[in-house]
Amino acid sequence: MPALDATDKILDEIAKLPGPQKVRYTHDAMINCIIANPAVSQNDLAKYFGYSAPWISQIIASDAFQARLSQRTEELVDPTILLSVKEQFNALVLTSLAILREKLKAPNPPDNLVLRSLEVGSRALGYGARDIGTPITNNVNIHLDELGKNLVNLLQRKKAEVLPYIEGETI
């Protein structure tokens, strides 16, 4: 199996690439800067710590750094707050659904309410077309006009090329 041997060689080479195997105090300081200011750029970190931007990029991309960053981020987010927000959101959704269900049970619910409920509900379940942004509209008439002008210009050029030969002959 030569393909597997080649893959194993590539993976061995990747494993040999330089990168921190464990996080040092400078890396922890970088993590603190990133947590304090998530919008900080790698160039700013490089200037602050006195390293090159590629070195900072290599450190940040390493598995050890990413694991430590994830761990520190989780430490800072209070799980009770996170759970509380999730519970509140679930309660809000369930209450909204109950109210919507009652309004749809009415003898003559408004058409826009029914249609909007169908749209939102089907999208939440993954049905329907996905929104791809603003549709692209092409004006075919303008395109055809441009093609016509190009054809006229081409015919005029060809006529100019052939006309000296035709005028030179007697018909």
pLDDT per position in the chain (171 positions), as tens?
A: 455 566 666 656 555 555 555 566 678 888 888 888 888 888 998 998 888 888 888 888 888 888 888 888 877 766 666 667 677 778 878 888 888 888 888 888 888 888 888 888 777 777 766 666 666 666 666 777 788 888 888 888 888 888 777 776 654
Indicate whether 70 and 104 sit together in one domain. Answer: no
Burial class (CB in 10 A: 0-12, 13-18, 19+), 44: middle
Supply the pLDDT for residue 10. Answer: 61
- The CATH code of the domain that includes 30 is 1.10.10
User: Pick from 2, 20, 65: which is nearest to 10 by CA?
Assistant: 2
Supply the pLDDT for residue 171. Answer: 47
Does 48 map to a domain?
yes
| Token pair for 111 | 């058409």
Domain extent, residue 113, equals 79-124
pTM check: above 0.75: no
Does 148 map to a domain?
no
Supply the pLDDT for residue 37. Answer: 84
CA quadruple 37, 40, 42, 47: dihedral positive or negative? Answer: negative
Indicate whether 102 and 69 sit together in one domain. Answer: no
User: Pick from 39, 31, 18: which is nearest to 67 by CA?
Assistant: 31
Indicate whether 63 and 24 sit together in one domain. Answer: yes
